[in-house]
């Protein structure tokens, strides 16, 4: 009798009708997430929710894929092997392409060294909270983004602000909203001594690093301002995030478009999302060089980075 197998267990041909039920049982989390995403899509289509909120459906599908793929692969590292194996299968195991497949696998492993597994550990909680966001918004335009930041930073209950700066360009101060932000930020931090402000940045070029040092000078007397630099070859692979009070999150890419008015920023206020981003930020922060810790400035690190940038 012809045998079928599921997860290594052989089934008689007469039991093939149970495969669908077994799939549902073993992958209920994937099904639920897809249903949630579909619900958001339908609600957006019939205009029961704003178009911006429909973006949550994309997030739900992304989370579902990560959960499903990680579960099938047996963990983050095994997931990478699983992806590489899939590439190999798509190449029909052609020996002439084995070197190329091996190269792809090595690149995947290189990226994995960023160590994003703590974020994956939180995806189950994210799934449970997708339908219950306290607040979400897609902000279009850099000036609108900075105005939103000033609005949030100015609240008296703000205690922690964690910022990444992985964009290679310096801020465009020709834009009024951008100029207002960088002018008001020192005033906000000085007026609220309870805020701990951490910035981790890349130093892709001399102009950006010198700008970071000049900006740091405005905060040199503040105990609550901290600055670190991470190697830009890693930072160029990472998303920019801003995390406020551990539950308000901004997410945006590492590169700016030529037209700042077209840049998009995702804002979410949610404890579970904040927890995942906190883990992500913590990993990046611990891998970065200390430039300023409170009032202490590490001049040896500054000199080393300056010399390296000037020699390239």
> Regarding predicted confidence, which is higher, 75 or 24?
24
Question: What's the token pair of residue 47?
Answer: 């205009």
- pLDDT class of 55 with cuts at 50, 70, 90: low
Q: What is the pLDDT of residue 238?
A: 74
- pTM attached to this predicted model: 0.60
What is the mean predicted confidence (pLDDT) over 53-77? 50
Q: Convert the pLDDT of each residue in 97-150 to its tens digit.
A: 444 444 544 444 444 444 444 444 444 444 444 444 567 888 998 999 999 999
Give CA angle at 226 (287, 148), nearest 5°: 105
CB under 8 A, 24+ apart: contacts of 99-107: 105/80, 105/81
Mean pLDDT of the chain: 73
Number of H helices, E strands in the chain: 13, 11
What span, in angstroms and rounded, lies between the C-alpha atoms of 245 and 134? 14
Q: Mean pLDDT: which of 52-66, 78-92, 277-291 is highest?
A: 277-291
Q: What is the pLDDT of residues 258-302, one digit of tens each?
A: 777 788 899 999 888 899 899 999 989 998 999 999 999 999 999
Identify which of 63, 200, 83 has the alpha carbon closest to the alpha carbon of residue 123: 63
User: Where does residue 245 fall: left (phi above 0), alpha (psi -120 to 50 degrees), or beta otherwise?
Assistant: left
pLDDT at 192: 93
- Ranges of each domain in the chain: 3-118, 133-310
Q: Among 37-46, 70-79, 192-201, 242-251, whose mean pLDDT is lowest?
A: 70-79
Residue 83, judged by CB atoms within 10 A of its CB (0-12, 13-18, 19+), counts as middle
Of 14-28, 175-189, 216-230, the range with the lowest mean pLDDT is 14-28
| pLDDT given at position 4 | 47
Q: How far apart are the C-alpha atoms of 75 and 69, rounded to whole Å?
A: 9
Max CA distance (Å), the chain: 80
CATH topology of domain 133-310: Endonuclease; Chain A (3.30.870)
Helix %, strand %, coil % of the chain (to 5):
60, 20, 25
- Computed on alpha carbons and rounded to an integer, the radius of gyration of the chain in Å comes to 23
């Amino acid at each position: 009798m012809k045998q079928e197998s599921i997860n290594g267990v052989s089934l008689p041909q007469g039991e093939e009708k149970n495969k669908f039920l077994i799939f549902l049982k073993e992958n209920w989390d994937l099904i639920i997430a897809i249903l949630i995403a579909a619900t958001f899509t339908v609600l957006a289509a019939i205009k029961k929710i704003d178009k911006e909120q429909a973006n949550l459906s994309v997030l739900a599908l992304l989370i579902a894929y990560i959960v499903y793929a990680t579960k099938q692969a047996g963990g983050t590292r095994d997931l990478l092997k699983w992806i590489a194996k899939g590439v190999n299968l798509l190449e029909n195991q052609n020996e002439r392409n084995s070197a190329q497949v091996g190269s792809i696998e090595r690149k995947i492993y290189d990226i994995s060294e960023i160590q994003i597994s703590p974020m994956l550990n939180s995806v189950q909680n994210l799934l449970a909270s997708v339908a219950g966001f306290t607040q979400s918004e897609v902000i279009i335009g850099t000036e609108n983004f900075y105005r939103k930041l000033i609005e949030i930073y100015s609240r008296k209950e703000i205690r922690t602000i964690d910022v990444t700066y992985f964009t290679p360009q310096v801020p465009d101060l020709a834009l009024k909203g951008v100029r207002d932000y960088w002018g008001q930020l020192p005033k906000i931090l000085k007026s609220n001594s309870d805020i701990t402000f951490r910035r981790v940045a890349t130093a892709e070029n001399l102009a950006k690093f010198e700008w970071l040092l000049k900006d740091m000078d405005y905060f040199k007397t503040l105990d609550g301002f901290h600055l670190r630099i991470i190697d830009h070859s890693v930072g160029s692979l990472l998303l920019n995030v801003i995390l406020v009070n551990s539950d308000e999150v901004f997410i945006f890419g590492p590169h700016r478009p030529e037209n700042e008015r077209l840049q998009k920023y995702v804002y979410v206020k949610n404890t579970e999302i904040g927890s995942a981003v906190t883990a992500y930020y913590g990993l990046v922060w611990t891998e970065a060089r200390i430039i300023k810790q409170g009032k202490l400035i590490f001049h040896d690190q500054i000199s080393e980075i300056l010399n390296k940038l000037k020699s390239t």
